[in-house]
Structure formats: structure tokens, C-alpha cells
Structure 1
Amino acid sequence: MNLSDWFKGFEKGISCLSSEQRTSFFSECGKNCVKCGTLQIYQELYEKANGDLNIFFEEADRLLGVRSEIIEEDSIYHLYFMECTCMLYQQGYVSTPLLCECSKQSILYILHSLWKDKKFSVSICESILRGSPHCKMRIEINDGNT
């Protein structure tokens, strides 16, 4: 059996999970993935922005392959990824849009790691695996501190 055959079962397996189960599963996957380097990039942006969300997203807009928009200062942001950087997708192992939950959870992990006193929600608006030319995430701060 080759590895791509195993991942066909993986895709079927995650499709059988409830939304809550996928959130839990991909929360661990996303956390592990960003600890391998992406988290450091966003930590540097956080430090450069002195913890200011608006400046952070302005700086994120300068990252290669990333675009961001401030929809409502200190409250709502859009974060775009111009390509899917997931190695499972890039190497042709997984193509289900359910995998995008991993990206959503990794963004939540990054945000919660940087702003421990804030509560965030992230919504997947568009994704490459759903047929869009880019991934678009809506980030909302919903902690009442804004």
C-alpha cells in the first residue's frame, strides 16, 4: 500500500466526524503544524506591532503570500492566503475541503498564543480546496474589550 491510499481512508474518516470532533482533531494538528515555524513569524509581527491588532494586520499584509484587510478596527479582520501551504495538499495526499479546519484552528492557536486576554472567532469564508483562487478567513474579536 502506498501512502496516498492510506490518506483516502483518512479523508473518509474525517468526513465521518461531527463538526465538534473535527474541531478538536484539527485543533491539535493545527497547533502542531504552526509550532514548526509559522508561529515564530507571527510572534515577530506581534512584537513589531507592540501587540496592537491593527498594526499587526497591517504588517501581516506585507508577508509574502498573505494579504489582510482591516474591516473594523480592533474588531474584524480578513486574512487571505494566496496558496495552500499544507504539505498534505501540496503533495497530493489530501484534497478534501474539510482539511481547511486545520488552517482555521492554527490561526486561532496563533491568535490565542499572542493575545491571551482576548477571545477570537475565525470563519472560513473561501478556500482553495473549495475552489477559490485563495483562502479567506474572517477573524473577529469578541471579548468585549474592544
Structure 2
Amino acid sequence: MKLSDWFKGFEKGIARMSSDQRETFFSECGKNCVQCGTLQIYKELYEKAHGDLDLFFTIANELPGVRSEIVKKGSTYHLCFMECTCLLHKQGYVGTPLLCECSKQSILYVLHSLWKDKTFQVTICESILRGGKYCQMQIDTKIKIQTL
């Protein structure tokens, strides 16, 4: 059996999960993936921006293969990746667009790691695995309301 054969079962398995189950599953995968290097890049951007979200996304626009846009200052942003960077896809193991949940969860993990006082919602607007030219995520943020 080839490894690619195993991943066919993986794709079928994640297709049978509810969206909530995929979210939970891929939150661990996404977290693990970004801890292998990408998180450090975002931490450096965070430090350069002194925690300012608008400045963070302005600077992120300078990263190779990344485009970002401030849709609404202080609250809504677009983060675009010009190519799929997932090794499972790049190496030909996984082709399902359901895998994009992993990218969404990795972005959520990064944002929550850096801005502990904010809540974030990430929406996949477009993805290469869905047939798009690039991967675009919309990021919406709010200040966390502390309850007593």
C-alpha cells in the first residue's frame, strides 16, 4: 500500500465529519503546523507592528507569496496566499477543499496566540483547492468582553 492510498481514506473520513468535527480536528493540525516555523514569522510581524492590527496586516503584505488588505480599519482584513503551502497538497496526497479548514484553524491559532484580548472569526472566501487562483481568508475581530 502506498501512502497516497491511505490519504484517500483520510479524505473520505473528513468528508463524513460535521463541520464542527472538522473544525476541532483541524484546529490541532493547524496549530501543530504553524508551530513548526510559521508562527515565529507572525510573532516577528506582531513585534514590528507593536500589536497594532492595521500595521500588522500592512507589513504582512510585504511577505513573499502573501497579500493582505485592510477592509475596515481595526476590524476586518483579507489575508491572501498566492499558492497553497500545505505539504499534504503540494506532495499530491490530499486534494479535497475540506483541507482548507486546516489553514483557517492555523490562522485562528496564530491570531489568538498574538492577540489574547481579541476574538477572531476567519472565513474562507476563496481557495486554490476550491478552484480559485489563490487562497483568501477574511478575518474579523472584536475586543473580548470580560465577564465577572
TM-score, structure 2 length as denominator?
0.96
**Unaligned 5+ residue runs, structure 1?**
none
Deviation at 1:144, TM superposition (A): 6.3
Q: Residues 29-55 of structure 1: CA distance to partner in whole angstroms, max 9, x if unpaired? A: 000000000000000000000000000
1:68 equivalent to 2:68? Answer yes
Stretches of 4+ aligned residues off by more than 6 angstroms:
none
| 3-state secondary structure, aligned to 1:70 | strand
Percent identity for Structure 1 against Structure 2: 71
1:1-146 correspondence runs (5 A): 1-143=1-143
CA distance in 2, matches of 1:49, 1:115: 12
Bigger shift: residues 6-15 or 135-144: 135-144
**Unaligned 5+ residue runs, structure 2?**
none
Q: Residues 56-82 of structure 1: CA distance to partner in whole angstroms, max 9, x if unpaired? A: 000000000000000000000000000
TM-score, structure 1 length as denominator?
0.98
The alignment covers a number of residue pairs equal to 145
CA distance in 2, matches of 1:6, 1:138: 32
